[in-house]
Structure 1
Amino acid sequence: MSTLVLICDDSKLARRQLARSLPEDWDIKVEFAEHGLDCLEKIKQFSPEILFLDLNMPHMDGYEVLQAINEQQLNVLTVVVSGDIQPNAHERVMSLGAIDFIRKPCDKEKLIEIIEQHGIRDRAIRESLVHKLGEQVDSELRDIYQELTNVAMGQAGDLLARLLNVFVELPIPNVNVLEVSELHMALQAIDANASTSGVCQGFIGGGVSGEALLLLNDSSFKEIASLMNYSGELNNKVELELLMDISNILIGAILSGLSRQLDMPFSQGHPVVLGQHCEVADLVKANKGRWQRTLAIEISYGIEDHDIKCDLMLLFTEDSIKTLKYKVAYLLEE
């Protein structure tokens, strides 16, 4: 039985190029959609198993299509194909349930590599992926996790602001369930080309466990040292001390804030240095075995009028997801 594939792009040329790039020995039937609204209609009409989706389209863009697929619980594996290669675009589509992201113009070898990497030519693997997507954080739970994190990160930001005497910019937390390969891409998308130092710290309590991962751009150290009135020479030892100070403040405060809201005390392990002065890709590669499928909450702190960028990720283990759901449900009933 042929696998039904839907290609959605407002450009006829792009649709045809993508169709010609699909593996020639793959038994598929291809349908086309010209924009987002057309895409949703075709999904409901033909029930495709795989969707290749452009982002920038009239009537309804790719982000809105992904949101609608989630809200309407449509079972289709989506690979985004777009010329928008900003890190935020990559992170956003992955958080909305896309399984991968391909840069336009579509490279045939890269497309085949991604198809093989995810195993989506195999029906059993496709069904497994669809099942896992069904376990993604639904919109109501995501809102709850975001609100809990908002409160906790506000407390952490307040401590940092008082320590450095600055205004800390607080983002909306990004919440999603990620496979290990997706987590690597999300981490690398934070700042793929910047030299970075990282620390992680394990935590456990009440049937929930995970790791807090803090990444600090190396360009931040000079300004952090200045704000902390350190006037000596910056070297690896001093920068490590600064990194540990920041991680202790942010990780400790945010876990404390979540602990109080969930009524679930956490014990923290010893901090572990993942790497200093390396690209995020190298840092991730060296620690690949640490992370598996996870509920990931990403927070990107910024300091107003200062070149300081700090990313904190809370990585809850897969076994923790069910416990957190029960805990949140219990709190809502009170």
Structure 2
Amino acid sequence: MAISVLICDDSRMARNQLARCLPEDWDIELHFAEDGRHCLEVVSDIHPDLIFLDLNMPEMDGYETLEEFREQEIDCDVIVVSGDIQPDAQTRVLGLGAIDFIKKPISREKMIQTLSYHDLYHSQITTPIEPERVKLDNLNDHTNFIDACQEIANIAMGRAGDSLARFLDVFVELPVPIVNEIELNELIMALQFAERESTVSSVCQGFIGPGIAGEALLIFNDSSFKNIAELMKYHGHIDDNIELELLMDIANILLGACLQGISDQLDISLSQGHPVVLGQHIKIPDLINHNKRWKKTLAIEISYSIENKAIDCDLLILLTEDCIDTLRQRISYII
């Protein structure tokens, strides 16, 4: 008898990738949900036996969804599949009732191992079902391409967040990355600082690889320096030089880990330049004016914050227009 399986993830690419990792001979009825709120609606209709749940989603994230499951006493197995690999994230979801945690990107081998461990799947090679559960994404479609880039960014974001969390011994709150092809003069509108007039300090690091080139910018709100100094156990006077040291420490962690996460997924080597300070205590429009190298860019924006601390920074990955075809080819290879 077929069991009911629900995959909940805001990324179509991620949903399809996970579906293709399921055992080919597993007798299931497969359903999909695009975020936590949609997941609850589907659950009330089909009462699934097993849910694969992402954490970083709009509307209602994975943590909130698990809390709602507990509140409504929804009885089903939940396996979290996420790019947020912080140890505390894994502890939290298990505490909220998930039976396991799998980090993205997932392989079929890891999927079968996990399902077998929880006695959810036993091989039935004698009665195979159709192996191709979903069609490959058409990356010539703009929406699919942006969705795929967002999922690549999501996994890279999780690795960088994990590095920062371990370095500072904190829990890093991760958003849904924002990906857009935009004119460079529209970049200010993409920034998510609460107050546009706030002063910021910024570090830039260039990178280049086969068919790919761009810049990564860390934009740090100046009001965060005092709290980041406390976390790093610095108790002296905080002048511009100390702020610069703090900024470079955070930049080295986030920029390096994020770019490495992207290069690992695309299976390419990215050569990274030395971090360069773009400015200290300047306004965002002035920062962007210093960086007008291209007319149009593929921009990936990630807004990091630290739980219970007034610390916020934006990480921007800016890719040249010339990268688009290469990105499509590399992502097609991945999926």
CA distance in 1, matches of 2:157, 2:163: 10
Q: Tell me, yes or no, if structure 1 residue 293 matches structure 2 residue 316.
A: no
- RMSD over aligned Cα atoms: 1.9
Which residues in structure 2 correspond to 1:1-334 (within 5 Å)?
138-187=142-191, 191-285=195-289, 287-332=290-335
C-alpha distance in 1, partners of 2:164/2:327?
Answer: 27
Partner SS, residue 142 of structure 1: helix
For the structure 1 residues 223 and 257, does the alpha-carbon distance in structure 2 shift closer, same or farther, using more than 3 Å as the test?
same
Q: Which amino acid aligns with 2:260?
A: S
Q: What letter corresponds to residue 146 of structure 1 in structure 2?
A: Q
- Conservation of the 8 A alpha-carbon contact between 2:177 and 2:300: yes
Letter matched to residue 246 of structure 2: L
Q: What do the CA deviations read for 1:149-205 (whole angstroms, capped 9, x no partner)?
A: 111111110110111111100000000101122124334867411110011110001
Q: Which residue of 1 aligns with 2:88?
A: none
SS in structure 2 of the partner of residue 275 of structure 1: strand
What is aligned with 1:10?
A: none
For 1:236-256, what per-residue CA distance to the aligned partner results, in whole angstroms no more than 9, with x for missing partners? 001001101101100000111
TM-score, structure 1 as length reference: 0.56
| CA distance 1:305–1:141, change in 2 (3 Å) | same
Query: TM-score w.r.t. structure 2 length?
Result: 0.56
Give distance in 2, aligned partners of 1:255 and 1:221.
24
Identity among equivalent positions (%) equals: 57
SS at match of 2:295: coil
Which amino acid in the other structure matches residue 323 of structure 1? T
CA distance in 2, matches of 1:230, 1:317: 39
Q: Considering Cα pairs closer than 8 Å and 6+ residues apart, tell me whether 1 or 2 has the greater RCO.
A: 2
SS at match of 2:234: coil
Q: 8 Å contact 1:173–1:299 — kept in the other structure?
A: yes
Q: Hey, which of these two has a bigger chunk of helix by percent?
A: 1
Gaps of 5+ in 2: 1-138
The answer on whether the counterparts of 1:178 and 1:294 sit within 8 Å (CA) in structure 2 is yes
Whether contact under 8 Å (1:136, 1:176) holds in the other structure is no
* Contact preservation (8 Å) 1:195, 1:277: yes
**Aligned positions, number:** 197
**Contact 1:259 1:265 (C-alpha < 8 Å) held by counterparts:** yes
Relative to structure 1, the CA distance from residue 271 to residue 292 in structure 2 (aligned partners, 3 Å threshold; closer, same or farther) is: farther
Mark the CA change 1:250 to 1:188 in structure 2 (over 3 Å): closer, same or farther. closer
The DSSP-based 3-state class of the residue aligned with 1:150 is helix
